[in-house]
């Protein structure tokens, strides 16, 4: 059983087929707690989501469960989207990695790699994911509409456009492929923001097919930029023969 990279509770099962007529199939279950040489706590990933000014620093603790270790060097592939620093809580036993977001807007994903002097565990990887909104936010960033199965009703979608500073704004323009979808705009009943109802045009989506398109929203907020939603319009019915 290969448990490389696992940490914490693990449950594995295997099915054994035999020629015993009374027990032709037996399921073997193994479960337990994997204790790595170095624990990465609370988990091996950090997530940044929200506006840049509202994001707090994230902390990862690296704690030995057996041998003393040291961090030799650190590198990353995040193109300066984050900054980080390493502190020794207890030299050789416990280190603390503090990670801060540097991006003002956009998405990113990458990893911080810490190299140790332990031959059994030469490197540790901390995954970093960021979804940073500017003053204008749009949610969700992807949407599926249409018919997902022959016996299912048509699914519509809803997109929310908000001002993260809670200021009033206007939508100047919505751009999309009107052959595939229709979009209806409604202001929030309370507070600034808009709801965009997305309806698929099923008559223009071939049976058994899916069409990818993009909804682009522009507002009167100078720093808002163009906000995009990726949309999949699906018509998964039996194609005519």
User: What tokens were used for 88?
Assistant: 């020794």
User: What tokens were used for 208?
Assistant: 């058994």
What's the rounded Cα separation, in Å, for the pair 62 and 96? 6
The Cβ-side half-sphere exposure at 62, using a 13 Å CA radius, reads 26
Indicate the pTM of the whole model. 0.67
Same CATH topology for 38-133 and 136-235? yes
What's the rounded Cα separation, in Å, for the pair 86 and 72? 11
Q: Which position has the token pair 């409604």? A: 186
Given this model, what pLDDT does residue 241 score? Answer: 52
Given this model, what pLDDT does residue 97 score? Answer: 98
Given this model, what pLDDT does residue 1 score? Answer: 62
Comparing CA positions, the residue from 190, 193, 210, 191 lying closest to residue 202 is 210
| CATH number of this structure's domain 38-133, picked from the four choices 1.20.58.410, 2.60.40.10, 3.40.50.1100, 1.20.120.430 | 2.60.40.10
Q: Which CATH superfamily is domain 136-235 in?
A: Immunoglobulins (2.60.40.10)
Domain ranges of the chain: 38-133, 136-235
pLDDT in tens, the chain (241 residues): 665 666 667 788 888 888 888 888 888 888 887 777 899 999 999 999 988 988 999 999 999 988 899 999 999 999 999 999 999 999 999 999 999 999 988 899 999 999 999 999 999 999 999 999 889 999 999 999 999 988 889 999 999 999 988 999 999 999 999 999 999 999 999 989 999 999 999 999 999 999 999 999 999 998 777 899 999 999 997 655 5
Note the helical H segments in the chain: none
């Amino acid at each position: 059983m290969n448990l490389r990279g696992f940490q914490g509770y693990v449950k594995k099962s295997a099915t054994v087929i035999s020629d015993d007529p009374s027990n032709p199939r037996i399921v073997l279950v193994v479960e337990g707690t994997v204790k790595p040489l170095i624990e990465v706590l609370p988990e091996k990933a950090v997530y940044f989501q929200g506006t840049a000014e509202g994001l707090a620093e994230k902390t990862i603790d690296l704690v030995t469960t057996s041998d003393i270790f040291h961090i030799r060097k650190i590198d990353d592939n995040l193109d300066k989207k984050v900054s980080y620093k390493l502190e020794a809580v207890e030299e050789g036993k416990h280190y603390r990695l503090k990670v801060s977001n540097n991006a003002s807007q956009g998405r990113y994903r990458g990893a911080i790699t810490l190299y140790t002097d332990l031959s059994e565990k030469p490197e540790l990887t901390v995954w970093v994911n960021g979804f940073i909104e500017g003053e204008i936010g749009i949610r969700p960033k992807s949407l599926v509409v249409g018919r997902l199965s022959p016996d299912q009703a048509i699914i519509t979608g809803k997109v929310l456009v908000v001002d993260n500073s809670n200021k009033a704004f206007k939508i100047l323009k919505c751009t999309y492929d009107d052959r595939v979808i229709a979009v209806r705009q409604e202001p929030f009943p309370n507070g600034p923001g808009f709801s965009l109802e997305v309806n698929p045009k099923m008559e223009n989506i071939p049976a058994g097919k899916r069409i990818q398109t993009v909804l682009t929203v522009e507002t009167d907020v100078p720093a808002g930029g163009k906000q995009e939603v990726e949309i999949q319009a699906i018509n998964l019915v039996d194609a005519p023969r």
